[in-house]
Amino acid sequence: MYAIMRTIGSRFSSRGSDRGGGGGLLARNPSTWAFLVLTLIVPFSSRAYGTQVELIQVKGIINPVISSYFIRAIGEAEKDMATCLVVELDTPGGLDESMRDIIQRMLDSRVPIVVYVYPRGARAASAGTFITLAADIAAMAPGTNIGAAHPVALGQGDVPKEMKEKVLNDAVAYIKSIAARKGRNVSWAERAVRKSISSTETEALKAGVIDIIAENFEDLLAKIHGRRVKTPYGEKEIITKGARVKEVRMGWREKLLHIIGNPNIAYLLMMIAIYGIIFELSNPGAIFPGVIGAISLILAFFAFQVLPISLAGLLLIILAIILFILEIKAPTHGALTIGGVISMLIGSLMLIDSKAPYFRISLSLILTAVAATTAFFTFAVGAGVRALGKKVVTGREGIVGLIGVAKTDLSPNGVIFVEGEYWNATSVDGDVKAGEKVIVVEAEGLRVKVKREGR
């Protein structure tokens, strides 16, 4: 750069000499000219490169949505030539594939990555431990913890011992590689996976797992200022003093997908879909329940794509829906409803195919949903049974037992007047004179059989 400026200064010097004057100080001394130009350029250059800190907040289960958000933020930080990307992390863990996608991008980042376990009470457990160790600078707030990274098998059945060992050894090798690459405590990292150990922020700092304990975001920026870290593209100095902070937020689509990726929300969407479809089929033309049910069903199936779903559990819930619909269309006085309730309960308990607590559907939510479904269909079926037991009050069956008046002589045939209508009638107990009261005892087609009142 100095040579370029000297050349530029020499050219300006030559032009000054050609114009006839002594050229002054700048003309006589090109080095002075170059120095002044650099003095003007450098401040603007420093503003363009490395004086912006970018921030993202990662909270909840590590899933494909979080992975996409994390990777997008790294790309934006590189595009903006930020001095570093700070990740405020609070996670119980998540999917192995999503975690590895994030770490792979972190290790190839041109911009230093600072993972900060924050706020107080936050944790970097399971997948969060791997991500924290993969950071160029790892920091924690007071009252936080890190560790418990033992891999949890996806599947509620018994996993063969050999498979468990393969998964465990793979996770151990991966975390040891990350810790060694970033100069962290490899022994602690291995025990975090094998023994599920967890450490507080002070224990982690003492053990060489993290680099900094920071009270808050401002304290973090002050403590990382001037630090130099190695990236795949060379050594970088982190300049945070006076830096502008840009928060990279989730888009509305990412927020929506992250919310419905919660197992409890996904289950609620599925239940809403079930109720919407059943209401629509039981009340054709209502439209609104069907539309809500269809939308909820689509969202639920999207959520299932990012969750470890058991096919058997899902099929049992679908069977429950079929049984409920059949009960509506062909009432069996509760037999199909009982089968549907049992199928829904077992299917709901089996739906998430993971032993990880953060992937489980709340048992209270399952019991509430099943109880509500049971109550609804018990009421609906009970109302149907009671309706079948009631006396018919309309049509020809509805006039049986009513009292009418003979309008003509019944000997034995004639006409009577009942409930505002004239009926052809036949007397079953002898002749009846016009004006006498009669009781309808039977209805056959358009003719009724009657007898005198009081007999």
| 266 & 140 share domain | no
Q: Which residue has the tokens 């020809």?
A: 396
Interatomic CA distance for residues 103 and 230, integer angstroms: 16
Is 3 contained in some domain? Answer: no
Is 13 contained in some domain? Answer: no
Residues 6+ away with beta carbon under 8 Å from 80: 52, 54, 246
| 202 & 73 share domain | yes
Please report how many Cα atoms fall inside a 13 Å half-sphere around the Cα of residue 15, on the Cβ side. Answer: 6
**Could you tell me the sign of the dihedral formed by the alpha carbons of 41, 44, 48, 50, in that order?**
positive
| 288 & 140 share domain | no
Interatomic CA distance for residues 106 and 69, integer angstroms: 13
Interatomic CA distance for residues 71 and 77, integer angstroms: 10
| 265 & 364 share domain | yes
Instruction: Report pLDDT for 171.
Output: 94
Whether 166 is catalytic is yes
| 385 & 402 share domain | no
Whether 126 is catalytic is yes
Burial class (CB in 10 A: 0-12, 13-18, 19+), 270: buried
Of 214, 249, 284, the one marking the end of a domain is 249
Encode pLDDT of 67-89 as tens digits. Answer: 999 999 999 999 999 999 999 99
Interatomic CA distance for residues 184 and 67, integer angstroms: 24
First to last CA, the chain: 125
**Residue 163 C-alpha from the chain's centroid:** 29
Is 412 contained in some domain? Answer: yes
Q: What angle do CA 252, 298, 273 make, to 5 degrees?
A: 115
| 175 & 311 share domain | no
Is 347 contained in some domain? Answer: yes
**Residue 401 C-alpha from the chain's centroid:** 62
**Could you tell me the sign of the dihedral formed by the alpha carbons of 121, 122, 127, 132, in that order?**
negative
The enclosing domain of 410 has a CATH number of 2.40.50.140
The tens-digit pLDDT sequence of the chain (455 residues) is 444 444 444 444 444 444 444 444 444 555 555 444 444 444 443 334 458 999 999 998 898 899 999 999 999 999 999 999 999 999 999 888 999 999 999 999 999 999 999 999 999 999 999 999 999 999 999 999 999 998 875 444 456 778 888 889 999 999 999 999 999 999 999 999 999 999 999 999 999 999 999 999 999 999 999 999 999 999 999 999 999 999 999 988 888 888 887 888 888 998 888 888 877 776 777 778 888 888 988 888 888 777 778 888 889 988 988 887 787 667 666 678 788 888 988 988 888 876 667 777 888 888 888 888 777 776 755 555 455 455 555 555 667 888 888 888 888 888 888 877 888 888 888 888 888 888 888 888 778 888 888 76
Q: What angle do CA 124, 130, 132 make, to 5 degrees?
A: 55
Instruction: Report pLDDT for 175.
Output: 96
Q: Which residue has the tokens 């050349």?
A: 7
| 448 & 327 share domain | no
Residue 228 · residue 238 · CB < 8 Å: yes
Interatomic CA distance for residues 67 and 97, integer angstroms: 9
Instruction: Report pLDDT for 382.
Output: 53
Residue 406 · residue 438 · CB < 8 Å: yes
Pick from 216, 340, 226: nearest CA to 278: 340
The enclosing domain of 108 has a CATH number of 3.90.226.10
Number of domains in the chain: 3
CA distance to 7, 64, 354, 424, per residue, from 95 (Å): 58, 8, 11, 79
Question: Hey, what are 43's tokens?
Answer: 């401040």
Of 217, 249, 281, the one marking the end of a domain is 249
Residue-range definition of the domain harbouring residue 319: 261-389
Q: Which residue has the tokens 């289960």?
A: 61
Instruction: Report pLDDT for 17.
Output: 43
| 293 & 239 share domain | no
Is 41 contained in some domain? Answer: no
Q: What angle do CA 260, 265, 269 make, to 5 degrees?
A: 90
Interatomic CA distance for residues 249 and 246, integer angstroms: 9
| 104 & 171 share domain | yes
Burial class (CB in 10 A: 0-12, 13-18, 19+), 399: buried
Of 389, 410, 428, the one marking the end of a domain is 389
Catalytic residue among 68, 126, 310, 348: 126
Instruction: Report pLDDT for 421.
Output: 83
Q: What pTM was computed for the model?
A: 0.67
Instruction: Report pLDDT for 256.
Output: 83
Residue 411 · residue 436 · CB < 8 Å: no
DSSP string, 324-348: HHHHHHS--TTHHHHHHHHHHHHHH
| 354 & 413 share domain | no
| 325 & 357 share domain | yes
Q: Which residue has the tokens 């907040």?
A: 57
Catalytic residue among 166, 195, 241, 433: 166
Q: How much is the CA Rg of the chain, to the nearest whole Å?
A: 40
Residue 418 · residue 404 · CB < 8 Å: yes
Is 148 contained in some domain? Answer: yes
Is 215 contained in some domain? Answer: yes
| 385 & 401 share domain | no
**Could you tell me the sign of the dihedral formed by the alpha carbons of 117, 119, 121, 127, in that order?**
negative
Is 35 contained in some domain? Answer: no
Instruction: Report pLDDT for 4.
Output: 44
